[in-house]
Amino acid sequence: MIRPLIRAVTLTAFLVFTPLASAAPAGTPGIERMVLVMRHGVRTPLHGEVPDGTRTGAPWPEWKAPDEQITPHGAKALRALGEADRRWFAAHGLIAATGCPDTSAVRIRANISPRTIESGRDYADGLAPGCALPVSHRMDGGADPLFEPLSAHPAKFDADAAVASIRSFTGGPAALAERHRAGLTLLETVLACPAPGPCSPVAPSAVVPTADGHGISLTGPIRAASGTAQVLMLEYLEGFPLAKVGWGRATPDVLKRLGAVHGALFDVFSRPPYMTAFQMAPTVDRILRDFTAKDAPRIDMLVGHDTNVAALGALLQVPVEAPGFAKGDPSPGGALALALVRQGDGNPAVKVWYRSQSAQAIRAASDQVQWTPLAIPGCDEGADHLCPLPRFKTLILARTAAARE
């Protein structure tokens, strides 16, 4: 969930199903390097994710793992994801199909939270079993600007400008809530609290700077309901009996519809242009270095949060959607994957996918993974949807300029 100071939320064409990776189609340019920005795996609920004052008709089911941690099932799903990615990477010539890859070729960086670090380790265990690939992360306990740039208090951030951008992008929090009225009403039906309602806490819709001026605070129906919607989805992904998922009222279709309420948070914290610029400036620097430096790894995996994936999708103006999830609601383990490729004329270009398991596959801890090719609007050339690297660089630097000026 997103707390008053912008922190990570626990904070996405034809779908290519790849339970076994296939070789690149004839004519597809060869991949030289990849950067993936991935959400952590299935976790237990966060403290306060279901807000105090939320009313239900029956007790919430109990989780066996501690709060805010990757569950054993979530770890299993991540290992399956790593196994599938190993086949895909090998089929595209990035690493060998077996054995331990050189640590200079594969780098995994995680945010400082235990759930992201553990996700990186579980994924690495699937990608390269028995190899103990290192998962790097900041060691001093401070906010990592790569994953939580606003928590690092960038000097140029102007909270009033952020609020103006959010209001322009959304029409204001009340208008945003009204657009999601059907989902909010559906959540009330699932919670089924005793009359009189409502089941979710009531507060005025507002978006304002935090008292310290370093972040944004959102109140209102979206803020009150988004975390609850996410917890219901996590019950399904964890493998709870269907009779316990939303007390038997949250079917997969209902969960997908509720996911739009959770995804609406990113219309406040990630997608408005000013917010995107500050959320993504450090990531942009990392991507450009990975695509230009001689000592960059072949695969750079960044394990963060749904805010990171949503903000990168906003930066590139590409959709983030996995089967069983609402459009714009990043799936656990889902990643935006950017590849540096060499075109036929020898010039470098960038290709983008959303790589994910479906909700059903996560629930089953299956290695069935989809790579959905995405076209960057205004920088989309040919059947392979390539964006020439110089134009890509110009585009992403321009869209993060507010954080640099």
- Cβ proximity of 161 and 203 under 8 Å: no
The pLDDT of residue 28 is 54
| Distant-in-sequence, close-in-space partners of 66: CB < 8 Å, separation ≥ 6 | 44
The pLDDT of residue 244 is 98
**What is d(CA 84, CA 404) in angstroms, rounded to the nearest whole number?**
38
**What is d(CA 42, CA 45) in angstroms, rounded to the nearest whole number?**
10
* H or E element in which residue 176 lies: helix 173-179
The pLDDT of residue 20 is 33
The pLDDT of residue 32 is 97
Instruction: Choose among 356, 355, 354, 349: nearest CA to 385.
Output: 349
Q: Where are the domains of the chain?
A: 16-157+270-403
Structure token digits, residue 26: 């004839």
Structure-token match 């660089």, residue found: 393
Structure-token match 């507002």, residue found: 206
What pLDDT, in 10s, does the model give residues 277-311?
A: 999 999 999 999 999 999 999 999 999 999 999 99
SS3 162: helix
Domain covering 16-157+270-403, topology = Rossmann fold (3.40.50)
Percent of the chain at pLDDT > 90 equals 89
- Cβ proximity of 328 and 309 under 8 Å: no
* H or E element in which residue 181 lies: helix 181-191
- Cβ proximity of 29 and 384 under 8 Å: yes
SS3 72: helix
SS3 405: coil
**What is d(CA 376, CA 328) in angstroms, rounded to the nearest whole number?**
16
Structure-token match 């316990």, residue found: 244
**What is d(CA 121, CA 303) in angstroms, rounded to the nearest whole number?**
10
- Helices 221-238/181-191 angle, 10° precision: 60
- Helices 273-292/306-316 angle, 10° precision: 90
Phi, psi of 175 (to 5 degrees): -65, -40
Specify the amino acid at residue 50.
V
Positions in the chain whose pLDDT score sits under 70? 1-28
What pLDDT, in 10s, does the model give residues 215-255?
A: 999 999 999 999 999 999 999 999 999 999 999 999 999 99
Residue 41 CB neighbour total at 10 angstroms: 29
- Rg over alpha carbons for the chain, rounded to the nearest Å, is 20
Tell me the residue ranges of DSSP E strands in 134-200: 135-136
Structure token digits, residue 326: 């609402």
- Cβ proximity of 268 and 176 under 8 Å: yes
- Cβ proximity of 110 and 136 under 8 Å: yes
